[in-house]
A and B are shown apart, each in its own frame.
Chain A
Amino acid sequence: MANVLFTQRCVRSCPYCFAEKHMSESSPKDVLTWENLIYLADFLEASGERRFSILGGEPTLHPDFTDMVAYLLERKFEVKVFTSGIMADRVLEESAMVFSAAHPEQLSFICNLNDPQKTPTSLAEVESAKRFLGVFGDRVVPGFNIYRTDFELDFLFRSINEYGLKRTIRIGLTHPIPGKKNRFISLADMDTIIARLFTYAPLFERLRIKPGLDCGFPLCRFSDEQLAWLYRHTGGKYDFGCGPVIDIGPDLSVWSCFPLSSFQKKSVFDFNSLQEIHEFYQRFHAIVRTEAGGIFEECDACVMREDQHCRGGCVAHSLSRFQDEAPVRFREVYV
């Protein structure tokens, strides 16, 4: 799968933003053109990929957002849009009208929501996101990024019930961006946030909502009881991975994932297929793993990592650490 950036502008300024470094180095005027969209649709289709993830910035800011999604649906792609849900009323009305006929499996949204108490947001933005959830609720998987240890999930449970959202919460862990000072969960705080996450286990159970762990969680920080609970409540659909996600910019530049956007940036035109892109960035990940097996010292000798049950946390932690050391490692690991 690959994420395609429709725009490089965003309506929010989240303190943990993964994309901040990339955005700060790009022109906000850059938006995906129709020519590039069609090239990417062809490229993915030729690679046997039928999924098309749309990312930003805020993708709904693209002047042709609705038309481009309609085009991808016509090409029979399974489209997933990552959005804040904050959009102009006109865009919401257009989208509601144009997307109404699409099957919920063919078009879905991942709406990243911030806790309105802990991450202050203007009332207008909150109201806009609510209108979005009101219209597209049954197509929306709510997402939440943990960037502080005292996070709360209650507002997400309320939103799921109020707007009839999909009964899964995508839970992301914030990671450092090498060379940038964003807020993220430090290694020392991993145990705390996992313990806090599990205080919500009874609520997940009672409301029959599944937690969907995103990349970079280290397996060793979960107790056997917690792993058993996860297995029971997700049907085993979780992993402790960290691998190339593949993000593609409006100008068809490509990189492994947002936290790693400064490393080995290439162009889609350098590759013949999505598989080639994956292989290229997998090799890059392997180089980083050669330097440091994982985010903790003990990752190097970890059996779980050797057996590939865990990837040893997000490589951005290791890369971030390398930037502050003497440059004695493989040159690929430096910005």
Chain B
Amino acid sequence: MTAPVLVCPFQEELLARLSGRTLVITIDDVRDIPRVLEKARLHSIRVHCLDVRTRLPLTSLTVSEEWRGAPLALHVSELGRFREVVRQLALLKQLNIRIYLPLSAPAGSAGIRILSSLGVSTAVDFGDAKPDWDQAGDLLAYALFGLRPHAPIEPFQFLISQYDQHQETDFGAVYFDEPAKYPHVNSDGRIALGRREMAKGLFFAESIDEADSLLSEAAERKKHERREKFFLMNDGCAYCQGWRVCLGTFAHTRNGANGCARFFSEVMDSIERFRSLRERKTELWQP
């Protein structure tokens, strides 16, 4: 089993305690990126990714040469005016960066398409409120069946590579929200299975060393609990075709129209169609 990647906030003291580990370090200000990278080097931390959660539009951030080489997940509130984006585009394309845009932002879906069509990797930030599933469906169609090549759009790219119709596929990893892979560490060094658990103070281990031995069991238990929660109750998710991909993540957004069910069924159908189209291509013989 591969070692889990710990998700932790940026605190130098915590980094010192996690020396030698592979981390996702969360910050909320892009100006901290060079300093975090420097401190990570100092404490022999392998940076899996810097998870930058800014509440600002992309256009209000100054994309810097100092970001080169750093794996970045940059959450922005919206794209902003394209004329401002275009000034930073050449550098953005050269960086190891994925930009997360909320679907609920003004022109959120358009922003994702704009960046992707110009070669910048993006991800949909579904947010906590009820997403606009029609918009998400259009974006899915663009991501999978766009007429021209474009940069990957997550979580669709992840699902194309990982989806298995006979199993559940958890795309939470795209958001560092998969218990077995990305446990979360708080500033005291206590470990939770995910962001939500950490916010609620639900820790499964009191220290990193303890977490190493308890993680797989705790993650498995959470998986079972999730199933029980939906399948022992006479809940709509228990009957939903989309369960295999959604895993109840959007249960709180359900309403009469069940937009999430339609969307996730469409996701699975589209991936299968995408794969069958890809397989239909004839490989030219080679000498």
Instruction: List the interface of chain A (C-beta within 8 A of B).
Output: 33-35, 38-39, 41-43, 45-46, 64, 66-68, 70-71, 74-75, 94, 98
Contacts and interface: CB of A to CB of B under 8 A. Distances in A.
B83 A70 contact: yes
Contact of A35 (B81, B86, B89, B109): B109
Which residue, A33, A38, A66, has most C-beta atoms of chain B within 10 A? A38
Nearest to A45: B148
A35 B135 CA distance: 10
Contact of B118 (A34, A35, A67, A74): A74
10 tightest Cβ-Cβ pairs between the two chains A and B: A34-B110, A67-B82, A42-B147, A42-B148, A46-B147, A98-B83, A38-B113, A70-B83, A67-B83, A70-B86
Interface of B: 81-83, 86, 89, 107, 109-110, 113-114, 117-118, 138, 142, 146-148
A35 B117 contact: no
Contact of B114 (A34, A46, A66, A98): A34
Contacts of A67: 81-83
Contacts of A74: 86, 89, 118
5 contacts: A43-B147, A46-B147, A68-B82, A70-B82, A71-B114
Nearest to B84: A67
Given A67-B81, A70-B86, A71-B82, A38 B138 contact: no
B147 A35 contact: no
Contacts of A75: 117-118
Contacts, number: 47
Nearest to A68: B82
A39 B147 contact: yes
A33 B147 contact: no
Main SS at interface, chain B: helix
B24 to A, nearest CB: 31
B91 to A, nearest CB: 14
Contact of B83 (A41, A43, A45, A94): A94
B92 to A, nearest CB: 12
A41 B109 CA distance: 17
Contact of B113 (A34, A43, A46, A94): A34
B83 A35 contact: no
A144 B178 CA distance: 64
A35 B138 contact: yes
B203 to A, nearest CB: 43
A331 B147 CA distance: 35
A274 to B, nearest CB: 12
B83 A42 contact: no
Contacts of A71: 82, 86, 114, 118
A41 B81 contact: no
B103 to A, nearest CB: 13
Contacts of A66: 83
A46 B146 CA distance: 10
A35 B148 contact: no
A64 B82 CA distance: 9
A45 B150 CA distance: 13
Contacts of A64: 82
